[in-house]
Amino acid sequence: MNIRFDAVPPLDPKVAAFVGGKHAMLIGSAWLPAASGQSLDVIDPSNGRVIAQVPAGDRADVDLAVKAARTAIDGPWSKMVPAERAKLIWKLADLIDANVDMLATLNSYESGKPIGDSRNGEVPFTAETFRYYAGWVTKINGETMTINAPGDWHAYTRREPVGVVGQIIPWNFPLSMLAWKVAPALAAGCTIVLKPAEQTPLGALYFGKLVQDAGFPEGVVNILTGFGETVGAAMAAHPDIDKVAFTGSTEVGRLIARAATGNLKKVSLELGGKAPTIVLGDADIDMAVAGASSAAFFNAGQSCGAGTRFFVHKKIYDKVMSGIAERAEALKLGAGLDPATELGPVVSQQQMERITRLISEGRNDGAEIVTGGARAGDVGYFVKPTVISRTRPDMSVIREEIFGPVACAMPFDDEDLDRLAKDANDTEYGLAASIWTNNLGAVHRLAAKIKSGTVWVNCHNFNDVTMPFGGFKQSGWGRELGEQALQLYTETKTVAIRLP
């Protein structure tokens, strides 16, 4: 398996100037270094080289950003009528579209994902998310209640912004994770302190420039770069942050929930997954092979909804497995910025080591490595797309979130749906699942039995801004996207009036 290194076009001068410039954090209207003067390296995962340095903030910077966000919510932002706020959010969406080349390049440079996925997928989706929530701003209303008690009453509810929110996001979809959090919070009238992942701060910092260009009042959006253990932990524990929203590992989700108990801030969590991908005996094999491969390999498997536990009917198991292996072997590996790349590197050395360790554990546990099974090359953080067969439910490849281009499969031999659902549900996670079949009865029965926030049928990793997304069980608290995300960022106030 060859990795192409020679086909990365030179960076556009405007992008090169931004990447090579001095980076600072957006606090209020100012671009500031970390109070401590510390910085952290941003790395190109296709070759391990340092491409930029950004401030490594800490608690002191969080304090400043929270003050700016508090001043903004007590000031101009809350006085702005909804239609004006909607216009600003819409303008921000237009600026994201207008800067698609810059944002897509930054996104792929720092995360390693294929440039086509950034340019044609993630960046447009980011703009669309802001536009969708711009539409909601003018439609966030309370209700009136008809009161049972005797007498004359008027009672109603107001939906008010929850306040200053801390948002901590991961590196796997740096821009769409930003949009899923920032857009509904702005729509609800909150102010924001955002921390991008240490691996992917550049896109978020450029987004900060667009927020200013759109004309948002200062302090509405603040962006802090730095490590989770410092900036992230200080946000989760901060006494003047009203709500923290997080996407990332279940382990860190637990730390955040614990840190939030000090002031009992509201918490929403979008955590890990271990999505079952169930291929029934009647499935269209070509469609299932293409869909299952993409479920496992899209974004190098670095997706919380990635299909990782394949349950395939015995009568088509060999065909499906060889089809997925064939597709895996045909994928073109390369840097994210090479337009021909289909599978980029994983984001970091740490992730590469974690993925290859889990694959080795699978091998040692007796699973069969059909293809792949190791690091690819010795430069950058590439992992060969891997297909693992004959797995058992107790193996770590089946229990742990791998977050790499690895499909693990096991056959089943009858279509007892209760049994299938039980096996599919045999995980601490409950984020997503997919079912591949044309049997309508089986679809609806299984969809009801599977314990996960999303069930896809004859598709996988399909997200639309209108569809709520989030986890059952240890995959999280709350739902992002759709109307439901507004609930994460609003408080309901009841006003009851006895009429004199």
Catalytic residues: 270
478 near ligand NAP, judged by CB under 6 A: no
Nearer to ligand NAP by Cβ, of 61 and 401: the residue is 401
Q: Closest separation between CB of residue 42 and ligand NAP, Å?
A: 11
Which stretch, 42-50, 55-63, 114-122, 163-171, contacts ligand NAP (CB under 6 A)? Answer: 163-171
Q: How far is the CB of 10 from ligand NAP (least distance, A)?
A: 29
Interface pattern 180-209 for ligand NAP (x via CB under 6 A)? ---------------x-xx-----------
Write each residue from 300 to 339 as x if it is in contact with ligand NAP (CB under 6 A), else as -, in one continuous string.
Answer: ----x-----------------------------------
- Which lies closer to ligand NAP via its Cβ, residue 437 or residue 461? 461
- With beta carbons less than 8 A apart as the criterion, state whether 380 and 48 touch: yes
CB 90, min distance to ligand NAP, A:
27
The end-to-end CA distance of the chain, in Å, is 81
* 359 is an interface residue for ligand NAP by CB under 6 A: no
Cβ neighbours around 217 below 10 Å, total: 19
Selected from 107, 172, 299, 474, the binder of ligand NAP by CB under 6 A is 172
* Torsion angle in degrees (nearest 10) through CA of 486, 487, 491, 497: 100
Q: How far apart are CA 62 and CA 231, in angstroms?
A: 7
Query: Is the C-alpha dihedral spanning 209, 74, 89, 195 positive or negative?
Result: positive
Work out the burial of residue 419: count CB atoms within 10 Å of its CB; fewer than 13 is exposed, 13-18 middle, 19 or more buried.
exposed
- Using the rule CB under 6 A, give the single segment among 79-87, 132-140, 248-256, 415-423 that binds ligand NAP: 248-256
CB of 188 to ligand NAP, least distance (A): 22
Closest to ligand NAP by CB, 174 vs 291, is 174
CA–CA dist 380, 4 (Å, integer): 12
Site string for ligand NAP, 118-147 (x = CB under 6 A): ------------------------------
Tell me the window of 59-67, 116-124, 167-175, 285-293 that interacts with ligand NAP (CB under 6 A). Answer: 167-175
Contact (CB, 8 A) for 70 and 240: yes
CB of 215 to ligand NAP, least distance (A): 28
Beta bridge partners of 368: 389
Candidates 41, 318, 91; CA nearest to 201 is 41
Nearest to 230 by CA among 55, 112, 435: 55
> Which amino acid is located at 81 in the chain?
V
| Minimum separation from the CB atom of position 190 to ligand NAP (A) | 19
Among 114, 203, 248, 276, binds ligand NAP (CB under 6 A): 248
360 by DSSP, 3-state: which? helix
- Listed in sequence order, the residues at least 6 apart from 94 whose beta carbon sits closer than 8 Å to its beta carbon are 127
Where is 389: in which H helix or E strand?
Answer: strand 386-389
C-alpha distances in angstroms, 335 versus 103, 105, 342, 405? 17, 12, 9, 15
| Residue 48 Ramachandran class (φ > 0 left, ψ -120 to 50 alpha, else beta) | left
- Which 218-237 residues touch ligand NAP, going by CB under 6 A? 227-229, 232-233, 236
Binding mask 257-286 for ligand NAP (x = CB under 6 A): -------------xxx--------------
- Position of minimal CB gap to ligand NAP: 228
Least distance CB 197 / ligand NAP (angstroms) = 4
Interface residue list for ligand NAP (CB under 6 A): 168-170, 172, 195, 197-198, 227-229, 232-233, 236, 247-249, 252, 255-256, 270-272, 304, 351, 354, 401, 403
